[in-house]
Structure formats: C-alpha cells, structure tokens
Structure 1
Amino acid sequence: MSAPTTADQQLARWERFRAGRNAALAADHGWLTLTSFQWLGSVPEPLELVPGFWSTDGASATLTAAAEDGLTFVSSGDPVIGTYSETLQDEESLNWVQYGGLDGTQVVVELAMRADKYAIRTRDNGSAVYTEFSGVPTYPFNPEWVIRGRFEAYENPVEVPIGTANPLVDGVHVSVGEVVFHVPGIAHEVRLHAEAEKLGALNVTFHDETNGDTTDEWRKVFIPKPRPDGSVIIDFNRAINYPSAFTPYGTCPMPVRGNSIDVRVEAGEKLPAD
C-alpha cells in the first residue's frame, strides 16, 4: 500500500483535531452546560437556579447555605452549612459549589470575577445544549485555507481595549504583534493582531464575511510557534467558535477593531446546530 499523500496526511490530522475538539466540548460541566450568568449584589439574596443566599462586598463573594440546600464544595465534597467567602482576581473563575442529581453533582456553580465585579454561572449537566450535542458543524477540509504568512512581533506587548460577548463586560487584548498574510480574493496583505499562547503559539481572533450567515459573529484560530525567521502556518480549517457561540452566558473577547478578513473564510467551524 502506498504511503499517504500530503493532502491525505493533512486531512487525517484535521479529523483527529475535530474529534478532540468535539470531545473537549462534550466534557462534564463544560461550556455547553452553562444555564445562567448572574451578578452578585451587596445584600444577601437568593438567585435563580441555585440554592443559598449570595452577596459581595466588592472585595469578596459570600455564600450562606443550610443543610437542606444540599450544596457541597466541589473541591472536597464537604457540605456547605453556614457562611463562606471567596476572593478572586479580575478574570479569575472558581468552580465553587455543586448540587442536584442522583449524586449531588449535576449542577456546578462557578464563581467568577468579571469587570471587577462578582458573578456566578451555573453549569448544569442536564442542559439540553449539552445532552443533545453531537458535534460542531464545519466546512469540509480545504487545503487552500492552509496559508503561509509571517509574524511581526512588537518590541513590547500592547494592551488594546475590546468588547466582549457580554455588553456589561469590557475586555483587553494584549497584542504581541501582527500576523501578516495573503488570502485568495484579496490583493492586499491582511494584518491581524495576535495574542500569545503557551509554548510560543499565537491566538488570532477575527471577523470575516461569513459571520452572521454560516458562522458566528467572530471566531479564533491558534497558530503554532513562529519559526526563527518569523514565518507561520495559519490553518483556517482549525478556526473554532468561542463559547459564546453556544451559550448566551459567555464573556468571550471580541476581535480587536480592524481584525477582519474581507472575504468569506469558508473553513473551520460553522454556527452550532440549534
């Protein structure tokens, strides 16, 4: 049997990537399980979908619960009886307590600090978005959207204010440079701000002409670490949705203004199925 061609190898790698991506989305208490996002107030009060009384003094978040509330701590499984506080930094999250289901772990309550304010999100493994998930629709693999480009690093990272999927939460994009490349159908170079990822990789959040039609309002693509000469490979077949494509309870970052590709990037993930 002959060895696989380069195209066959690319397709096989992409199929493995897709399998891993769908498996990650299908994880317990993952992004597909979000069922609420609620800000904490200054007075202890009950919130929707979660037992107990919740509040914040601005510096920390406080939960008061009784035995009949059925809450336990995610970290230890110990019952939540009495008053407890937690302190987070901005953009931090903590899967704090849990309840429900046969084993008391169906719903995890995530404590989050966003825009310097405390909120909770409920992560319910009984959510229909989660239980009915069968994979994210995608465009077929297209080798023409595996594009060579270059990375032009800034001397120092630049903080760029951005919006997020939640209109009450502002964000900051820490740009470490620009990814520069050509795409079919555009004569000029495309320049997109990039953020740093682990092991020298890059993350690019972008708009394109498919947004709101066959794809979500924006997507992102991870780029392997640039080579010593600055060259990069951008595989738009691996463009993925942010969690906000699957749930209204995300606070996902929007692209930097101008991070747009002025053609239809018909590669990568599409709008999730209803």
Structure 2
Amino acid sequence: MKPGHTEDRPGADAQLARWQRFRKSRNAALAAEHGWLTLTSFQWLEGQPAAVDLVPGRWSTDGTTAFLTAAASDGLTMVEGGDPVDGTISAVLGDEESLLWVQFGGDDGRQVVVELVMRADRYALRTRDAASPVFTEFDGVPVFDYRPDLVVEARFVRYPEPVDVPISTANPLVDGVHRSVGDLVFRLPGIPHELHLQAEEEGLGALAVTFHDETNGAAAPDQASAEWRKVSTPRPRPDGTVILDFNCAVNYPSAFTPFGTCPMPVKNNSLDAPIEAGEKDPCSAG
C-alpha cells in the first residue's frame, strides 16, 4: 500500500475528516473581508506631510504619532464609527501593533481599508483592497495530499527561560525576534536521526514552529511549498509529549502577497527532509 494512504493506520477516516474541516475553516478565514489576501501596498510614513500611493490625503509621522490630513471631498471615513475625515487626525501605536484606521472607495465607501502599522519602530501604511485579484480570484490554497504518517508525536523540551533570537522577516527593512521557549524533538519516516525545531508559545500554552524543509522551491511546481511555513500544536501533555501534524502546516501571508512582514524561521529550524504535507506554494503549485 502506498505510504501515507489514509487506510494505513486506525482512525484514518476520522483523521481525514478532521483535516478536511481544518482546510475548510482555513480557506474561509483567508477569504475574509479585508483579510490578508487583500493587501496591495506597504509604505513607510515620512516626517513631512505627503501624498502616498493608492490613498487620498496627506500622511506623516513625528516618530511617536501618525497623522492624516484630508478633506471631506477625499471620501475617507473612519473604520470605527464611519465618521468622515475632515481635517487632521492622529493615532499612536506600540511596536508590532496595527490599526484598521480609515476606509474609502467602492459603492459603500469601504472597498479599501487603510491599516496603520508600527514595524521596526517606524510607522507604515498597508492598503487592504477588496478588489485585489489575489482576493477576488481566490478559490482555496493548494495542498499536498493528506499524509497520516506525517502526524507524529514530539517531545517538548522546555528551556529554563525563553530565549529571544533575532530573525529576518519577509520585508528586508523589518527585523524580528523569535521568542524560543523550547525544542520539539521528533522523528520522521525514513529519517534515521532525531529532528529538532525551536518553538514559540501561543495562547493557552499551545506551541508554534516556523520551518524550512526540502519542498521549498522544489523544481516540480506541484511539489513545492512556500519558502517557509508554520505549524501549531496543542498544549503539551503533562509528560511533555505533543502531536505535531504537518498536514496542518500553513503559509504565512507573505506567501500570498509581497506586502507582509512575516517572520522567517530561526537558523536551526531547517529540516533535511521534504515535508510533503500541508499547504503548497500558492504562486506555483498546481
């Protein structure tokens, strides 16, 4: 029987059904109004009020506060409350914070949402346009076939204290930090040695790992994944074990749009094996 066939292990039908529900939920989340698939620009704000691409008004920052000056005729309204922008408004964010700030365009005045973000201690704008072809033509992320053999048990080895590791991101002008809380140690079929991935902690004690593997940029488009992916796990059990399901590996927003600032994996999170499970490269996979 072909490795990875869903009849290879007990509970295969239930596992497959659970994964199919996950995929349906994932595609629905990506197709959300003004979600990641609608990003159409990323622009730094300057010190003097100036026009920016794709958005009315004049925008600036003094380093601490962001400012927008617009007339009612520009058609900008506040996302929160819908009041028109007529004059100068301001907002203050902390690093890594975001604000869906103003909107304009379309029949309802909400086609484009302008998101204010603080990245690398600098203010920037991202436009989220509901008319973006990436969004309007989306019909689901291409995925590898379900692989029950890539649902593995891992051992979580927590560090005495979290370790902040400097990392790069999808935007070369934005640096990031990976707060590693421990290692996930596991084996994969056909690999004779143990594998280790540094993990971050998410809500309620869940873990997440960002990783490279040998499907990144594969020569055959239908076997290629994006340059890096992420997989989350439940909270480890009392004995430190956790289920690591690579079928639930997902792309970061930067796989769909050049305007993301998504974190790259830490140096050691590169697997010397092809993880032919989870999401493929949405730009090249068939």
Q: Does 1:144 align with 2:154?
A: no
2:266 maps to what in 1?
A: 256
Q: Residue 184 of structure 1 aligns to a residue in which SS? A: coil
TM-aligned CA deviation for residue 273 of structure 1: 4.2
Q: Matches of residues 102-181 of structure 1 in structure 2 within 5 Å?
A: 102-181=107-186
Task: Give the aligned CA root-mean-square deviation in angstroms.
Answer: 0.8
Q: Residue 212 of structure 2 aligns to a residue in which SS? A: strand
Q: Matches of residues 87-102 of structure 1 in structure 2 within 5 Å?
A: 87-102=92-107
Which residue type is aligned with residue 23 of structure 2? R
TM-aligned CA deviation for residue 185 of structure 1: 2.6
Which residue type is aligned with residue 119 of structure 2? R
Which residue type is aligned with residue 135 of structure 1? G
Q: Residue 119 of structure 1 aligns to a residue in which SS? A: strand
1:191 maps to what in 2?
A: 196
Q: Supply the distance in 2 between the matched residues of 1:201 and 1:269 (Cα, whole angstroms).
A: 20
TM-aligned CA deviation for residue 231 of structure 1: 0.4
Which residue type is aligned with residue 253 of structure 2? P
Which residue type is aligned with residue 101 of structure 1? G
In structure 2, the gaps of 5 or more residues are: 1-9, 219-223
1:52 maps to what in 2?
A: 57
Q: Matches of residues 237-248 of structure 1 in structure 2 within 5 Å?
A: 237-248=247-258
Q: Supply the distance in 2 between the matched residues of 1:273 and 1:156 (Cα, whole angstroms).
A: 39
How many residues get paired?
270
Q: Deviations over 1:204-225 (max 9, x none)?
A: 0000000012011000000111
* 1:137/1:273 contact within 8 Å kept: no
2:79 maps to what in 1?
A: 74
1:232 maps to what in 2?
A: 242
* 1:98/1:106 contact within 8 Å kept: yes
Q: Deviations over 1:1-51 (max 9, x none)?
A: xxxx60000000000000000000000000000000000000100000000
Which residue type is aligned with residue 165 of structure 2? V
Please list every run of at least 4 consecutive aligned residues from structure 1 whose deviation after the TM superposition is greater than 6 angstroms.
none
Q: Supply the distance in 1 between the matched residues of 2:190 and 2:217 (Cα, whole angstroms).
A: 20
TM-aligned CA deviation for residue 149 of structure 1: 1.1
